[in-house]
Structure 1
Amino acid sequence: MPETSPRVGLFVTCLVDMFRPSIGFATVKLLEDAGCTVEVPELQTCCGQPAYNSGDQADARALALNVIEAFKGFDYVVVPSGSCGGMIVKHYPEFFEPGSTEHDEALDLARRTHEITSFLTRVMKVEKVEAQFPARATYHDSCSGLRELGIRNEPRKLLASVEGVSLREMTDAEVCCGFGGTFCVKYPGISDKMLEKKLRHIEATGADTLIAGDLGCLMNMAGKLKRQGSAIKVRHVAEVLAGDYETPPIAEAE
């Protein structure tokens, strides 16, 4: 762990802000427990991913500039989302001409930005968390977190330290759930077939709790599980690591 207390800016994400603030509070708890000073800049907005995925480069670029400005001065920026984190780290520098001030600032932000489980394990060197959460759980690897940020072992390592969690790996844990942001809107038929296959793998584990690091994926899977009458509960990894079992599971909270 760093000797001084890092100043961390929390990038909340749109979905967490609008639908699941408990994830943000859990993330703050985890960061403070790790010795960080946490702030939430009011200037922050959407990371621009929906616009980017839809081909709207102009709006995506404008949103990127706003986020870059909002998070100047922080030692680190932490995101409870692999997809928003991937947007900032991998795609922001692509918006600007190499050698320009904007490109340099985008690269600087990218170097300082981390997904929450990655930050705890790689930067803060957290080996375990002090939490209890009774669950026979399975973990879904979101596409962006896994493929853009290389996050796989980090959440599993931390979940293994949570008292009461028994993790059961599902078949094809790394395969897309069918959400893909605007993909599920553009191609609902394909998305639903992907989701059906994912849910069969989840149910085959015998788990009573599904965990992942991206709220978009979680809402997608939780919605169909609820419509099917499944008893499987759905949680964000930050909530489990923080020991927040009082907040109703995703879908049940709607």
Structure 2
Amino acid sequence: MRVALMVTCVNDAMFPGTGAAVVRLLRRLGVEVDFPEAQTCCGQPMVNTGYLDEAVPAVRTYVDAFAGYDAIVTPSGSCAGSARHQHGLVARRAGENGSDPGLAEAVAAAPPTYELTEFLVDVLGVTDVGAYFPHAVTYHPTCHSLRMLGVGDRPRRLLEAVRGLRLVELPNADQCCGFGGTFALKNSDTSVAMGSDKVRHVRGTGAEVLVAGDNSCLMHIGGMLTRQRSGVRVMHLAEILAATEDEPAAPAPGAAR
């Protein structure tokens, strides 16, 4: 199986350790994964803001960069959701207005895009990935992974199989953290209020680490945790799953400590 990593813009720019963790994890599980250097943005920021025409070049670059692979894996429910649900919308519009008549066919022929936990559980058929992380952890299910992709309990099953990890229940876990991409910029007061509620619940668990499958949400929540000097650090799920006794996980740059 030829597998490609779609690292995402946020991870490439701010959290490169997450992409590296995905590669270490998959290679440990016997999967050879490539990193196509032609990849750029999946186009989600433009689509979410209503600029479908402006998203056409990003979607075209996506399908061209990952052509020929059997699967695309990304450590982001948000970007996986964009590829699976938004690229078709952009492609149909591009066909209707003539900006890229062949895009719909290219999108239809593109390899499937999987969020990391979907790939591990559904494609590889594993929940115990050989990880070791001796800390109390609470899990935040991000909106796109929960609602758009329906990842369900896959992340929890993976975390429960990590040796040494104690998984603590997060109250009101299914409530949005308030980031929402451009929503946080357009509606900052509401975003901060939602984030404050999430942080209060996180701190109430007594967990040492907050984990999620999207660094964008962790960036939002982690910033508040840091400003409150909570002592709770945030980590992407991939970094915990990649951790072993020989290669312990380290907090991402800018994570709450």
> Take 2:124 and 2:208, find their aligned partners in 1: how far apart are those partners?
31
8 Å contact 2:47–2:86 — kept in the other structure?
Answer: no
> Does residue 88 in structure 1 map to residue 91 in structure 2?
no
> Take 2:104 and 2:30, find their aligned partners in 1: how far apart are those partners?
31
8 Å contact 2:17–2:252 — kept in the other structure?
Answer: no
> Take 2:213 and 2:28, find their aligned partners in 1: how far apart are those partners?
19
> Take 2:121 and 2:10, find their aligned partners in 1: how far apart are those partners?
24
- Report how many aligned residue pairs link the two structures: 248
Counterpart of 1:42? 37
Counterpart of 1:201? 201
8 Å contact 1:22–1:247 — kept in the other structure?
Answer: no
The alpha carbon displacement at 1:131 in A equals 1.5
TM-score (norm: length of structure 2): 0.92
8 Å contact 1:234–1:250 — kept in the other structure?
Answer: no
> Take 1:246 and 1:213, find their aligned partners in 2: how far apart are those partners?
16
8 Å contact 1:239–1:245 — kept in the other structure?
Answer: no
Q: Following superposition of structure 1 onto structure 2, how do residues 223-238 of structure 1 map, counting pairs within 5 Å?
A: 223-238=223-238
Q: Percent identity?
A: 42
The alpha carbon displacement at 1:252 in A equals 4.0
> Take 2:61 and 2:255, find their aligned partners in 1: how far apart are those partners?
34
Counterpart of 2:167? 167
Counterpart of 1:158? 158
8 Å contact 2:26–2:33 — kept in the other structure?
Answer: yes
> Does residue 56 in structure 1 map to residue 15 in structure 2?
no
**2:135 counterpart SS class:** strand
Aligned AA (2:28):
D
> Take 1:135 and 1:250, find their aligned partners in 2: how far apart are those partners?
19
The alpha carbon displacement at 1:31 in A equals 1.5
Counterpart of 2:218? 218
> Take 2:218 and 2:91, find their aligned partners in 1: how far apart are those partners?
32
> Take 1:66 and 1:118, find their aligned partners in 2: how far apart are those partners?
24
Counterpart of 2:190? 190
> Take 1:115 and 1:166, find their aligned partners in 2: how far apart are those partners?
24
**1:164 counterpart SS class:** coil
> Take 1:65 and 1:249, find their aligned partners in 2: how far apart are those partners?
31
**2:240 counterpart SS class:** helix
Instruction: Mark the CA change 1:74 to 1:104 in structure 2 (over 3 Å): closer, same or farther.
Output: same
> Take 1:61 and 1:173, find their aligned partners in 2: how far apart are those partners?
34
> Take 2:210 and 2:142, find their aligned partners in 1: how far apart are those partners?
12
Aligned residues: CA RMSD: 1.8
Aligned AA (1:187):
N
Aligned AA (1:236):
H
